[in-house]
Amino acid sequence: MKEDSQNQGKRPGLPGADPVHKLINLALSSLFLLFREEDGTPYACLQRPGVGKLVYAILSKPFKQLLSLLFYRAEGCVPPPPDMKLALEQIAGVAVHDGPVHEVNVRVGRRADGGVEIDSGDKAGAAFIVTPQGWSAGLPEGFFRRPQGLGRLPEPVPGGSIQELWGLINIQTFFDQVLLLAVIMACLLPTGPYPILQLVGPHGSSKSTLAKILRLFIDPAAALFQSLGRPERDLAISAWNGWIFAVDNVSQIKQDASDFLCRLATGGSLRMRKLYTDLDEILLQLLRPVIVAAIPRVLVSQDAVDRSVTIPLPAISQADRLPEAVFWARVHEAAPRIFGALLDILSKVLRELPNVHLDSAPRMADFAVVGVALERAMNWEPGTFLRAFEENRLLAVASALDDDPVAQGIAALARREGFWHGRASDLLQELRGLVPRHLRKSSVWPKDGRLLSLHLRRNAPGILSLGVEINFDLNIGGMKRVIEVKWASTAEAGEFQAPSTRGAGTGADTASVDPDNPFPMDNVRLTPPGSDA
């Protein structure tokens, strides 16, 4: 009986202490640092001399596999699943209640000296450390987790030129180069909000290729593109397991998916149950750069337009096309020099950022600050970035309104009546008589007054640029929740005039332009005389 009491709680065939305690002791050894993030997520960091930190979420499958491997090496057998589950829960408790608090990054993190660390993705856990004084490779001071499929960045070399990048991609205007380079710089910074980069163009305009090239220099991964046709929970998990969230070949983005992309780019969170059988929740806090490649402009709601940069790509002629193998061989041969040039520019941007103070800023003010810092780093003419950004936004607004039958109907009503007020259902009836039947069959046409009111609330700022002011929830003549439509004054409308469109061949922009100089800027080059970039 005495022997039975001594063996109670031990598994047959496992010598020594209980497997649960052995697993906990492994996690509490000098091999690991247990800590938590600010939101309470528990982590374990595998510490090895001369190698970068390897960070694991304690309740994740990779950490479970690592702990099982260490147990096998020590005991010659694998721990029983119930013991592993119990041990992980206790290890997580130690990390949450007794561990320090550290920030955990994916791909890009901040440094205490104001610099940036970019996880290289190599096996040694090295990073590219960028400061206002320059860049180098070394072990990061911060903590990076590496989701499954995270790829390796090119090995940068000094002395490269950004001109090599322009020679590989289908970007033709100076302003588009300005905006694209600003987006790249923003994506290599650890703090947002980030612009949504929308690449549009016809078949054969290399939209997907450009997105892949951008990922090569920012966040290479095994899975480059995501599908929006999934529940928001799945989209959020995909975003959490990477840095860039990219979607390709979309013909339409529904409003809920557009809202998700906006929250992702500007910062949002998602609560979800861990299991359908319990009451515990997981809180994912997400802030990610977003790339959307599509033939038409698919980001058309006012929120999405205000948060996006749209780059149109023209079709590539057959004479200019290269076989895939030849093209990508050129890209990878030039990649170390291009990435080195991008890190050179990022270092100069970090140097300029503290000195940028805008008198007035657009909706994406943080991105505008990055853009102006880039402008100074590249020695461009003052005002270059803000002009490019504003013209890009106005083009996007004009294009969205051209494709919005509700906005066109509201403008027609305001022109005819000058002033109109009534309930949303009455307004919808008025619009039906002003909008052709084939346009009323489009997916954006509201089916009832409630959906019309929601559509107008989302897009009222853009509609104001047509000279039409919309007011909501008024009490007029005993009626409540009245909508008012009226012509706005020129001053209220901001004297809106859409800039010249760029003839990208998408069918979205119809104004007559000079295809060789769609953004007239005389004698402007990407790298002006005297630039040190």
Question: Residues 338, 217: contact at Cβ < 8 Å?
Answer: yes
* Measured CA distances, 343 to 217, 225, 460, 471 (Å): 10, 25, 41, 48
Say which amino acid occupies 114. Answer: G
Other C-beta atoms lying within 10 Å of the C-beta of residue 285: 14
- Least Cα distance to 395 among 329, 312, 314 occurs for 312
Output b/e per residue, 325-345; b: 16+ Cβ within 10 A: eeebeebeebbbbbbbbbbbb
| Cis peptide bond prior to 193, omega within 30° of 0 | yes
* Residue/partner pairs of 254-260 with CB below 8 Å, 24 or more apart: 254/228, 255/301, 256/232, 257/228, 258/299, 258/300, 258/301, 258/303, 258/304, 259/303, 260/232, 260/235, 260/236
Q: Which pTM value belongs to this model?
A: 0.79
- Find, among 434, 426, 443, 444, the residue nearest to 410 by Cα: 434
Question: Which strands form 290-294's sheet, in the order they lie side by side?
Answer: 245-250, 290-294, 196-200, 308-312
- DSSP assignment, residue 59? T
Hey, is 488 helix, strand or coil? coil
Give me 276's structure tokens. Answer: 């359908």
Kindly list the distances between the CA atom of residue 177 and the CA atoms of 172, 312, 463, 515, 520, in Å, as whole numbers in the listed order.
Answer: 8, 11, 29, 16, 15
Packing angle between helix 19-27 and helix 61-75, nearest 10 degrees?
A: 110
Q: Pairing mode, if any, of strands 196-200 and 290-294?
A: parallel
b/e burial code for range 358-378 (CB count within 10 A of at least 16 → b): eeeeeebebbbbbbbbbbbbb
Q: What pLDDT is recorded for position 445?
A: 87
pLDDT on residue 419: 86
Q: How many CB atoms lie within 10 A of CB 48?
A: 11
Can you list the residues of the chain whose pLDDT is less than 70? Answer: 1-16, 269-283, 489-533
Under 8 Å between Cβ of 402 and 394: no
Residue 517 has what pLDDT?
33
